[in-house]
Structure 1
């Protein structure tokens, strides 16, 4: 039977994915008036104070941990991945940008095999394959017209998978809150100089959206770090694909996307793959 800690980790990964979908929708709206790079750094600047009060006091003031090279590397990779995703979300249809970003579970599985020596069961491999095929089915027409933003999105997905790998490495020495706070602090430091050339002062409506984005980002970060700290990359990665059908639903409801047969088939394949992964995880320790 699947362990309670792993089940909790999978639930956290799924919840983080749903929060990522909410972030993508907010980014799509707020980048109509603000640069994606400015949105990324403001998300971090607003999120950091919120996280400061979530982190346990003994970890909150452990400044030596925040300046370690492991925390910096994880934050730099995560910043690069999120900046690429935010930029693609502002330039491409939301579902297409998300499907490109959500190829990261495939890279996570490959990295877990190569670097962490994790093994993949038949159910996990099948689920990841079905998730990837589902993403291709949903976006086959859009991916046919490759442009620079598709490449940016793919690079961002690789950076995201490397950041998740670093989460696994840091899990034994840092808690979820501390890792999340470190990420937001470093993202602010890295992103602020990059955003200055395109800076535009946000309107009151933009500030409201940015605050909402920061709150959702805090929930997503803590859940993501908690999830991947408790469960193997190979076991959790297939559940990341559940984000894509959720993103498709947002696209349909909020951005006037008309669902096609391919979208329904792809979403069904993704959900079926996630079910296979859950059943497989439940059958093996």
Structure 2
């Protein structure tokens, strides 16, 4: 959860915002919006989570819980969303009780769900038909990035909507970047996940090899982390992989969902992803040994 102590946000006028989805990412992201002085209304499928959020941030600018996405979005300048998958996203955005039904003309929905580029384009078109704006904006940085307000956000959509949302999203992001038209944010997140999959598998093999060779792997990681092998994964997960600790938030189940999106998109655009497809199957192996909720660095469990 974000600290209840204010952090030095950029000077951004307070806006009326909604946040849909208070999971491990959405809960702290919404909290940073509240701490930045914005008037936040939250919706969560499990209402008790929304009530707990309102209680935690009761000292901020009148946090409010709504019973439906439509009610949360009514009167909001910006609606932020972070749910599980394409179907979850459609459920909170479309329909009589969805966010689009409650948004005023010109309002912007910024979606932080990791979803397909196809659903991003679908919702962008639906928003335009209603006089609304839609920005696909998946994030990287994991649970720690959300809690610390240091997420990297990859955006697709219209420049006008992006520029309007950027100062508000600064509450929980260190980088908020427009990468192209609708769907580009989701495609960039797929690139991110392809990179991570290969890195974690390589790190797993290296650590398992070193341990089998009898090396002091924490020391080895300290040394090679100062050279060309250095990566975020090595710095943040290498030693915990040696220790067999896999409780760092981004679960194997979620990674398999993301890699499924990647592989589906690769079929559409003709990309060859042999390493990614193999690592996806390795994650399936981790699921079969009970690691569905382990952190993605648990790939090493296959090798130890």
Give the TM bin, normalised by the shorter chain: under 0.3
Higher relative contact order (CA 8 A, sep 6+): 1
- TM-score, length basis structure 2: 0.25
Q: Give the TM-score normalised by the residue count of structure 1.
A: 0.27
The structure where strand makes up a greater share of residues is: 2
Which protein has the larger Cα radius of gyration, Structure 1 or Structure 2? Answer: 2
